[in-house]
């Protein structure tokens, strides 16, 4: 077996090869529409959705049940539930979205998607990520049906569905009234009318469930592609998937003066299995635009 190590490629069949294995996708909101094709093409998995899986018990976006765990823990719980319902599956996959204020940009909402794959033969856990400012995540307090209609026009209703709740003070209260998955003007007017009659105003917000939010569905697809890229990135020393960037080293030289800038010069890849570490220069980047230079563009 001369040259065994050098012929190590991501396609080499070994214990991490998932081609032909059964995968359970933990979703009740149609996420398999984007996750399954990506995982079939990228890893050769045969994807199925366990029948009767209730992922809402891990928390809902419409506030009836708050998510208690963080996104990764919640995804792991869904994976465990999917394995319990489909014992013949080797792999289970779950996704979790988080939406909230951007940590650096004021008033900009940030959407994060996490897709987690766990292989119970090898015990490997690989997560794909997406972070975007392009999302349909907003709410309005409507005093009239016209308020709600104007909001709907801004956020891409009816392709993006809406949720209507009652209001207590200016806060949403699903216990007063709650109507989810609204996709017609008539249903919107009725739900808003009911909420206003009961509480004086209607809290209207985007329905963040994946099958009701095509913008979010595309983000889940990108996170799935990121997962595949990470799975296919093997450690050069031990061949375990998930050899990924864990650190970026700043200092890409300015194109004009050569001074180090804040842009990354190199990326550090680390293997979580054996600890192997490699520094690689950022592909295609040898100099920084002078706009990023403190000397040329103070």
Instruction: Give the range of 61-69, 94-102, 222-230, 240-248 binding Zn ion by CB under 5 A.
Output: 240-248
Q: Is 273 in the site for Zn ion (CB under 5 A)?
A: yes
Residue 259 beta carbon to Zn ion: minimum distance, rounded to whole angstroms: 5
The SS3 call for residue 224 is helix
Structure tokens at 230: 């990470």
One of 238, 249, 250, 262 touching Zn ion (CB under 5 A): 238
Q: Are 230 and 242 in contact (CB under 8 A)?
A: yes
Count residues binding Zn ion (CB under 5 A). Answer: 15
Give the per-residue contact string, 190-229, with Zn ion (x = CB under 5 A; - = no). Answer: ----------------------------------------
- Pairing of the two strands 22-26 and 46-48: parallel
Question: Distance between CA atoms of 127 and 122, rounded to whole angstroms?
Answer: 15
As a whole number of angstroms, the longest Cα–Cα distance in the chain is 79
Whose Cβ is closer to Zn ion: residue 27's or residue 240's? Answer: 240
Q: What is the DSSP letter of 252?
A: P
Residue 284 beta carbon to Zn ion: minimum distance, rounded to whole angstroms: 20
Question: Distance between CA atoms of 138 and 204, rounded to whole angstroms?
Answer: 9
Q: What is the DSSP letter of 223?
A: H
One DSSP character per residue, 152-173 reads HHHHTTTTS-EEEEEEETTEEE
Residues in the chain: 298
Whose Cβ is closer to Zn ion: residue 80's or residue 273's? Answer: 273
Tally of CB atoms within 10 A around 285: 12
One of 256, 267, 277, 289 touching Zn ion (CB under 5 A): 256
Q: Is 274 in the site for Zn ion (CB under 5 A)?
A: yes
Q: Is 49 in the site for Zn ion (CB under 5 A)?
A: no
The SS3 call for residue 293 is coil
Q: Is 235 in the site for Zn ion (CB under 5 A)?
A: yes
One of 120, 129, 143, 276 touching Zn ion (CB under 5 A): 276
Q: Is 262 in the site for Zn ion (CB under 5 A)?
A: no
Q: Is 48 in the site for Zn ion (CB under 5 A)?
A: no
Q: Is 99 in the site for Zn ion (CB under 5 A)?
A: no
What is the helix, strand, coil percentage profile of the chain, to 5? 30, 30, 40
Whose Cβ is closer to Zn ion: residue 80's or residue 237's? Answer: 237
Structure tokens at 298: 């103070």
Sign of the alpha-carbon dihedral angle for 68, 70, 72, 73: negative
Whose Cβ is closer to Zn ion: residue 105's or residue 295's? Answer: 295
Instruction: Give the range of 50-58, 112-120, 180-188, 247-255 binding Zn ion by CB under 5 A.
Output: 247-255
One of 72, 84, 133, 257 touching Zn ion (CB under 5 A): 257
One of 168, 176, 237, 282 touching Zn ion (CB under 5 A): 237
* ∠ Cα 74 75 81 (to 5°): 90
Residues lying near Zn ion in the complex (CB under 5 A): 235, 237-238, 240, 254, 256-257, 259, 271, 273-274, 276, 293, 295-296
């Amino acid at each position: 077996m001369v040259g065994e190590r050098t012929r190590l490629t991501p396609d080499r069949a070994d214990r991490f090869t998932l081609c032909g294995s059964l995968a359970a996708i933990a979703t009740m909101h149609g996420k398999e529409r984007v996750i399954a094709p990506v995982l079939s093409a990228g890893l050769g998995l045969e994807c199925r959705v366990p029948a009767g899986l209730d992922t809402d018990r891990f928390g809902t976006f419409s506030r009836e049940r708050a998510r208690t765990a963080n996104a990764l823990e919640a995804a792991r719980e869904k994976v465990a539930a999917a394995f319990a319902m489909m014992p013949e599956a080797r792999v289970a996959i779950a996704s979790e979205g988080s939406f909230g204020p951007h940590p650096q940009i004021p008033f900009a909402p940030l959407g994060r998607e996490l897709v987690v794959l766990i292989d119970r033969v090898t015990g490997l856990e690989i997560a794909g990520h997406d972070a975007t400012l392009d999302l349909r995540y907003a709410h309005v307090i409507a005093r009239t049906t016209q308020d709600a209609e104007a909001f709907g026009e801004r956020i891409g209703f009816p392709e993006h569905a809406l949720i209507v709740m009652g209001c207590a003070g200016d806060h949403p209260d699903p216990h007063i009234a709650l109507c989810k998955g609204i996709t017609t003007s008539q249903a919107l007017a009725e739900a808003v009318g009911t909420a206003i009659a009961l509480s004086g105003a209607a809290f209207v917000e985007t329905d963040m469930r994946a099958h009701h939010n095509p913008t979010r569905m595309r983000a889940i697809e990108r996170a799935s592609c990121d997962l595949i890229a990470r799975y296919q990135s093997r450690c050069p020393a031990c061949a375990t998937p998930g050899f990924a960037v864990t650190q970026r080293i700043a200092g890409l030289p300015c194109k004009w003066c050569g001074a180090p800038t804040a842009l990354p010069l190199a990326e550090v890849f680390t293997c979580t299995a054996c600890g192997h570490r490699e520094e690689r220069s950022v592909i295609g980047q040898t100099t920084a635009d002078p706009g990023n230079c403190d000397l040329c563009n103070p």
